[in-house]
Amino acid sequence: MDDVTPYIVLSTILFTIGSVGVLTRRNAIVVFMCVELMLNACNLALVAFAKQHGNLDGQVAAFFVMVVAAAEVVVGLAIIMTIFRTRRSASVDDASLLKY
Amino acid sequence: MIAFWVLSPLIVLAALGVVLMRRAVHSALLLAVVMISLAVLYLTLDAPFLFAVQIIVYTGAILMLFLFVLMLVGVDAADSTVETIRGQRLLSILGGLVMGTLLVLVVAQISLGTMTGMGVANAGGNIEGLADLLFSRYVLAFEATAALLITAALGAMLLAHRERLDAKEGQRAMAARRMQEYATTGRHLGPLPSPGVYARHNAVDTPALLPDGTPARDSVSRVLAARGTVRSAPALADDIEDVQRTLDGVRGISGGSGGAADTSAGAGHNTENPETRPQGAGHPEGDE
Amino acid sequence: MFSLSEGGASIPVVDPVGADGVFSLLWLVIALPLAGAAILLLGGRRTDAWGHWLGTLTAVGSFVLSLVLFVSLTGREEGERQVVQHLYDWMRVGDLTVSIDLLLDPLSVLFLLLITGVGSLIHVYSIGYMEHDPRRRRFFAYLNLFVAAMLMLVLSENYLGLFLGWEGVGLASYLLIGFWQHKPSAAAAAKKAFVVNRVGDIGLSLGIALFFVTFGSTSFTVISANASGASDGVLTALGLLLLLAACGKSAQVPLQSWLLDAMEGPTPVSALIHAATMVTAGVYLVVRSNFVFELAPHAQTAVIVVATVTLLWGAVIGCAKDDIKKALAGSTMSQIGYMMLAAGLGVYGYAFAIFHLITHGFFKANMFLGAGSVMHGMDDDVDMRRYGALRSAMPVTFLTFAMGYLAIIGFPGFSGFWSKDKIIETALIESPVAGVGALIGAGVTGFYMTRLMLMTFFGEKRWKDGVHPHESPSVMTGPLVVLAALSVLGGLLYLGHWIVDWLSPVVGTAPEHEPPVPAIVITLLVLSVVAVGVATAWLLVGKRPVPTTAPQDVSFATRAARADLYGDAINETLVVNPGRHATAGLTRGDRTLVDGLFTGSAGVTAALGGQLRKLQNGFVRSYALSVVGGVVLVVGALLVVNL
């Protein structure tokens, strides 16, 4: 318990997995989950660094990330719902035109 | 550190699962695993408040929202694994690998020095310390996030709201329309038959039986019929014979006790009425 | 009042005094005809009935006023004969302040008298000449406009105001040459005059710009006071630019080609604008700018060369033309060549240039109006081969024309004798080559004018059927008589060297020069050369019958002269065709090169866009992939920097 490097490495791995998920998955909800995964990876790094530096600012930042993520998820899922309602599909590839 | 080494493979595997699972529901559940594990890691990192928030907000609220939307969109739908954009998957994986390797290399380059630990920072309590920061140095950001949350809630309502295109049909108008439909097309006037008239099989996916023993098509939800998960009612009715036989056996063994007679009467009533129209038709819930 | 030039001759400085008394009415001289033009042009048909009277009245009014001013000026001390009247500030831009100032001095007052006097006579004449033209009122409006612009030209105290009048007379000339616009030839001639004049105007406008750059002003007062401070190169450039301007306006070679075509206009116009006044504006410009030319000997040489070439050129053309007006136009060109020659001779010649300008204004206007009278009687036929024996049919016209004839060939005692003789004499002394040219020109003048006289008024009748020549009405012959009298008596201006003394405050006093041979010898030489010319004409034209159609089997010289010495062909070959080809080439270059560059770059951009558009496929995941690529780059860069 004297090094945060493993935490950071775990964080980068999670972040990478999340980004690959965003790139490869077509289901908008899953894409969203992968985004959440990436956010969580960042949170982990923040909290780990907070411990590294011995102050609470990192935890506050992580807290803000969670709050903003919550707002983001609410709006994002509402958008996904709207898209799904109009075209019966939650695939991000289907929404490839600016109109219609 | 033991917690970390135990949890980190779990987290990585679960995260991989999130990406690899074909069904979105499975991804969501694996994501819950990741998040709860992360919450535990927060605890090991001396962040008890975030531990709670991670579980309550992420796992409790956000993931539930995901699942809720998944239910609306269709919980069973599995994604196609065929990549439509040429080269996208290969490049993505390649890019991800390079990026991950680079990030790990970068992290490995840094010498972070000795860890300070949260002893001093958490001296007055983690939550108190966080609150101290939130309401002093970060109060402006805090207020901004509050505004953001309200805006997000309003935005979600606005996005999810569906405009009503015509006036709501009143009871009188509905009655008149139904009578009209019955007169012209002969459509059944009353409520639809409710599914599952048998005491043992009153599930929504079991159709009611008509007097001639055929299943009443209207008695199950169209969605279930479309999915093909409707059970065959006559097939289920087969074991009634066994039940009756069993009951008869019981009656023969125990002679006539009151309770048994009641039971047999109930059973007998059921036995004699397999072909009759279910009496529960008067129930208004079958209406769609 | 005088500054010394390098040669030792004194150059006068324009140093006017303010206008007072009768001189404060100076502006009215211009305003009267200008108001006349405005009323006649803006009044429309309502003024048809009395328009010609109003037009004549304003011209006569200007003349009377000019006469008063002239008399008042003669009553002044020599040093106070330059009067300036400040009207208003025209424009003020940065350092440049241009005011409308009118300058009345011995030079401009002579022009005032010539313009308004001859102008008035021609107005009167036009009443009769244009009687049957439905657009007579408009004609008088244009004439008035011309008079106003010409007065502005000679009265302005600065070059910009002069330019205003310069362009004004150009406009009036254009309008009047093309007055019978229904004739394509008239419309083309008007356009040609306008375009050729523009070439000269470029010279004047560049010259004015150079004046401003060099002296910070366009005022004669300022420039004449500071001219000696400018460098030789600038002064020579100024002189050449002014010469170019003068060439355009005064039909000097190489910008001479428009004058012959300008005869398409009504004859009074030819008399007023293209003989007496406007075409002499170039001479006025050179004389007025004497403070520049005196300091630019190279420019003076150029003036002499141009003038000598032109006086011979015009004379040769005049010999071959059968069109009476074109023969006179050639003569005009030649006579203006004499004036320019005199002006190019510098301080020795300025006064004689103006002297000849005035006498030429008299006798050439007289002859043009006489030609108009002849045409009037001959049903507007201009071909001299169809004239002959008109002296009995129109005696007044014949007699007045004869006065003009005697004046132009320099018959002793007539006005032309005094003025031309002095020019030739001065030229022979100052610039022998040009003098010999002028001498030959005098002989040729005698030839072509005699030819013209003989073909028109003597010999047999060669009239077309149905033509009954008759004398013109008195409203036309009246001006003829007056102009004939002036043609005879114009030499009085030189009585006791009056005009030379009169002009000396403006153009300076020539140092005494003893001619190598006595003046009387030169005079006799000139007279004998003229006599040879006259005799040749008598032998060639008077003794032989004149064919009614021009013979075709003639010498090359005659053919060339008939074709205006190929002036148009030269222009066509040297300017018009190269210009046309250059334009075509530029158009082609524009189409292929410039347009090609633009459409090419547009095409490249479009093609590039078409390729780049494929990146914008609308798939969010592709965009995200590029973001990941960026992240990889950034992190890689970080790593490279840190390693």
Inter-chain touch C620–A19, beta carbons under 8 Å: no
Instruction: Write down the pLDDT at residue B245.
Output: 79
Q: Which of C617, C620, C628 sits opposite A19 (nearest CB)?
A: C628
The pLDDT confidence band at residue C389, using thresholds 50, 70 and 90, is confident
Domain covering A4-87: architecture: Orthogonal Bundle (1.10)
Instruction: Write down the pLDDT at residue B78.
Output: 67
CB contacts of A96 in chain C (<8 Å) are 617-620
Inter-chain touch B106–C635, beta carbons under 8 Å: yes
Q: Does C619 touch chain B (CB under 8 A)?
A: yes
Instruction: Write down the pLDDT at residue B233.
Output: 61
Lowest-pLDDT range of C209-213, C348-352, C514-518, C590-594: C514-518
Write the pLDDT tens digit of every residue in C200-228. 999 999 999 999 999 988 899 999 888 88
Distance from CA of C620 to the nearest CA of A (A): 7
DSSP structure class, residue A27? B
Inter-chain touch C631–B99, beta carbons under 8 Å: yes
Is residue B214 classed exposed, middle or buried when 0-12, 13-18 and 19+ CB atoms within 10 A define those classes?
Answer: exposed
Inter-chain touch B50–A47, beta carbons under 8 Å: yes
Distance from CA of B45 to the nearest CA of A (A): 6
Q: Assess whether pLDDT exceeds 50 at residue B276.
A: no
Rounded to whole angstroms, how far apart are CA atoms C168 and C632? 77
Mean pLDDT over each residue of chain B, to the nearest integer? 78
Mean local confidence (pLDDT), C65-80: 88
- Read off φ and ψ for residue C104, nearest 5 degrees: -105, 115
Lowest-pLDDT range of A27-41, B50-64, B217-231: B217-231
Rounded to whole angstroms, how far apart are CA atoms C282 and C341? 12
Rounded to whole angstroms, how far apart are CA atoms B215 and B207? 6
Distance from CA of C619 to the nearest CA of A (A): 5
The residue of chain C nearest to residue B92, with distances taken between CA atoms, is: C625
- Read off φ and ψ for residue C323, nearest 5 degrees: -75, 120
Instruction: Write down the pLDDT at residue B265.
Output: 39
Q: Which of C617, C618, C621 sits opposite A23 (nearest CB)?
A: C621
Mean local confidence (pLDDT), B30-51: 92
Q: Which of A13, A33, A63 sits opposite B130 (nearest CB)?
A: A63
Lowest-pLDDT range of C356-365, C402-411, C553-562: C553-562
The pLDDT confidence band at residue C337, using thresholds 50, 70 and 90, is very high
Cis previous bond, C469, omega within 30: no
Q: Which of C105, C69, C558 is nearest to C318 (CA)?
A: C558
Write the pLDDT tens digit of every residue in C551-610. 877 787 778 877 777 777 888 888 888 889 999 999 998 888 888 898 999 999 999 989
Instruction: Write down the pLDDT at residue B254.
Output: 54
Q: Which of C618, C624, C628 sits opposite A96 (nearest CB)?
A: C618
Q: Does B105 touch chain C (CB under 8 A)?
A: yes
Instruction: Write down the pLDDT at residue B261.
Output: 40
pTM exceeds cut of 0.80? no
Inter-chain touch B114–A2, beta carbons under 8 Å: yes
Distance from CA of B68 to the nearest CA of C (A): 24
Give the tokens for residue C630.
């960026």
User: How are beta strands C2-4 and C10-12 bridged, if at all?
Assistant: antiparallel
Instruction: Identify the three-state secondary structure at position C188.
Output: helix
Mean local confidence (pLDDT), C91-117: 89
Q: Which of B31, B46, B134 sits opposite A60 (nearest CB)?
A: B134
Instruction: Write down the pLDDT at residue C109.
Output: 92
The residue of chain A nearest to residue C625, with distances taken between CA atoms, is: A23
Residue B61's CB is within 10 A of a number of other CB atoms, namely 14
- Token look-up 């002064």 returns C235
Instruction: Write down the pLDDT at residue A42.
Output: 94
Mean pLDDT over each residue of chain C, to the nearest integer? 88
Instruction: Write down the pLDDT at residue B256.
Output: 45
Position with higher pLDDT, B25 vs C571: B25
Distance from CA of A95 to the nearest CA of B (A): 14
Instruction: Write down the pLDDT at residue B77.
Output: 65
Inter-chain touch A51–B41, beta carbons under 8 Å: no
CB contacts of A35 in chain C (<8 Å) are none
Q: Assess whether pLDDT exceeds 60 at residue C265.
A: yes
Position with higher pLDDT, C85 vs B228: C85
CB contacts of A97 in chain C (<8 Å) are 618
Mean local confidence (pLDDT), A31-45: 93
Q: Assess whether pLDDT exceeds 70 at residue B274.
A: no
Cβ atoms of A36 and B31 within 8 Å: the answer is: yes
User: How are beta strands C96-104 and C83-93 bridged, if at all?
Assistant: antiparallel
Question: Which residues 20-79 on chain A approach chain C with CB closer than 8 angstroms?
Answer: 22-24, 26
Inter-chain touch B133–A48, beta carbons under 8 Å: no
Instruction: Write down the pLDDT at residue C481.
Output: 92
The residue of chain C nearest to residue B100, with distances taken between CA atoms, is: C632
Q: Does C549 touch chain B (CB under 8 A)?
A: no
Mean local confidence (pLDDT), C129-141: 90
Inter-chain touch C635–B102, beta carbons under 8 Å: yes
List chains touching A (3+ CB pairs under 8 A).
B, C
Inter-chain touch B92–C636, beta carbons under 8 Å: no
Instruction: Write down the pLDDT at residue C529.
Output: 92
Write the pLDDT tens digit of every residue in B146-192. 999 999 999 988 888 877 888 888 899 888 988 898 899 888 777 77
Q: Which of A6, A59, A80 sits opposite B130 (nearest CB)?
A: A59
The pLDDT confidence band at residue B269, using thresholds 50, 70 and 90, is very low
Q: Does B32 touch chain A (CB under 8 A)?
A: no
DSSP structure class, residue C510? P
Q: Assess whether pLDDT exceeds 90 at residue B204.
A: no
The residue of chain C nearest to residue B105, with distances taken between CA atoms, is: C639
Amino acid at C431: S
Instruction: Write down the pLDDT at residue C6.
Output: 44
Instruction: Write down the pLDDT at residue B201.
Output: 60
The pLDDT confidence band at residue C408, using thresholds 50, 70 and 90, is very high
Strand partners, B209: B215
CB contacts of C639 in chain B (<8 Å) are 102, 105-106, 109
Amino acid at C192: K
Please report, rounded to a whole number, the percentage of residues in chain B having pLDDT higher than 90.
26
CB contacts of C634 in chain A (<8 Å) are none
Q: Assess whether pLDDT exceeds 60 at residue B43.
A: yes
Inter-chain touch A23–C628, beta carbons under 8 Å: yes
CB contacts of C619 in chain A (<8 Å) are 92-93, 96
The pLDDT confidence band at residue B259, using thresholds 50, 70 and 90, is very low
Q: Does B226 touch chain A (CB under 8 A)?
A: no
